[in-house]
């Protein structure tokens, strides 16, 4: 097992990465404050891991709630079922909410924890690659609105993140590849050596080599922890973690969260960001082709869905949270391993990229 910390003063917390962590009561127990907790999972993950997690909790009252699985259920209606369960089971301000699942479960459970009785204890137990390397760390919580992704939420940090690599063995291939997109993101935005390491180990990644996966989760969590410690509420540098997300969120919203998975949409978005960076003269063509080759080697999509048009992109992107004074601010690349957030680009160059990918 490896562990590291997200350094946020009094709200600092550990991230544990390794195998067999779900069966280790000594990891979880110190972070459960009080004698009651609610485990929130979904119908895919619960049959695999809920009983194992429950048996690791030495708590008098352990309730559980199983939600439907899928991004389309990440909304206020589903969030209400968490509040309903907490109230029906008479959970107090001393309760602990435990998110057992992927990014959707983690985001909704975290938002419920942030708002139930004005804030209760919260632990992340991510079971997908995407949630282990990205969404479980940093305290972004929330739900989607029909007009935009993650438009309703709060920054609310967990007290611990427990990433059991063993849970990745049961991930469907498509979900696994979706998580890989967020892994590649870290190489592109801040760690060129990690990016080249991913290229060198593509075949072992596809084979889900346990040693490689443990290294991937650790290095991504370390990178994100460092960024979050510098900018918890995304006032400046943390925005680089959104490489490809403005384009990707537009795809998800237009498809009503029933088309490409989040990581798949982000993969297309990252390639679009690289393309625009090339059109601006910041990134050379070889770098763009290198990114395209890596995404392709790891089974990720390279073009926008047929449902997308330049007009659909522009309309959805106008609702992005990074829009400032009517300008869509984008995360672009100066080089592999160097990202910048900017709204200073010729609009016609953006239009050229949209046309090229639609």
**Residue positions annotated with a catalytic role:** 118, 140, 182, 224, 234, 238, 242, 245, 249, 262
What's the CA gap between 148 and 61, in Å, rounded? 37
Q: Is 99:125 a contact under the CB 8 Å cutoff? A: yes
What's the CA gap between 113 and 158, in Å, rounded? 9
Residues 6+ apart with CB under 8 A from 324: 343
Q: Is 220:195 a contact under the CB 8 Å cutoff? A: no
What is the residue-wise DSSP string for 210-238?
HHHHHHHHHHHHHHHHHHHHH-TT-SSGG
Q: Is 5:14 a contact under the CB 8 Å cutoff? A: yes
Residues 6+ apart with CB under 8 A from 237: 227, 230, 231
What's the CA gap between 41 and 63, in Å, rounded? 11
What's the CA gap between 127 and 144, in Å, rounded? 21
């Amino acid at each position: 097992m490896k562990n590291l910390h997200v350094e946020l003063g009094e709200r600092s917390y550990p991230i544990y990465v390794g195998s067999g962590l779900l069966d280790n009561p000594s990891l979880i127990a110190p972070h459960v404050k009080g004698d009651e907790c609610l485990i929130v999972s979904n119908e895919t993950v619960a049959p695999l891991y809920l009983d194992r997690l429950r048996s690791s909790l030495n708590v008098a009252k352990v309730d559980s709630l199983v939600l439907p699985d899928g991004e389309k259920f990440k909304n206020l209606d589903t969030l209400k079922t968490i509040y309903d369960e907490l109230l029906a089971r008479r959970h107090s301000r001393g309760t602990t909410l435990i998110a057992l699942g992927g990014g959707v479960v983690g985001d909704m459970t975290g938002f419920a924890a942030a708002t139930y009785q004005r804030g209760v204890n919260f632990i992340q137990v991510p079971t997908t690659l995407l949630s282990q390397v990205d969404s479980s760390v940093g305290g972004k919580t929330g739900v989607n609105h029909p007009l935009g992704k993650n438009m309703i939420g709060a920054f609310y940090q967990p007290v611990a993140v427990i990433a059991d690599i063993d849970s990745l063995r049961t991930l469907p291939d498509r979900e696994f590849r979706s998580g890989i997109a967020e892994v590649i993101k870290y190489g592109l935005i801040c760690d060129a050596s990690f990016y080249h390491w991913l290229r060198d180990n593509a075949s072992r990644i596809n084979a889900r080599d346990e040693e490689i996966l443990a290294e991937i989760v650790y290095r991504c969590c370390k990178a994100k922890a460092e960024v979050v410690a510098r900018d918890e509420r995304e006032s400046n540098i943390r925005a680089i973690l959104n490489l490809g997300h403005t384009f990707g969120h537009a795809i998800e919203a237009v498809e009503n969260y029933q088309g490409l998975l989040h990581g798949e949409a982000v993969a297309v978005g990252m390639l679009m960001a690289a393309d625009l960076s090339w059109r601006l003269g910041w990134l050379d063509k070889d770098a763009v082709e290198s990114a395209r080759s890596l995404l392709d080697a790891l089974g990720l999509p390279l073009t926008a869905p047929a449902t997308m048009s330049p007009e659909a992109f522009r309309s959805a992107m106008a609702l992005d949270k990074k829009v400032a004074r009517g300008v869509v601010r984008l995360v672009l690349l100066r080089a592999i391993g160097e990202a910048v957030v900017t709204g200073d680009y010729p609009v016609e160059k953006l239009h050229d990229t949209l046309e090229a990918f639609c």
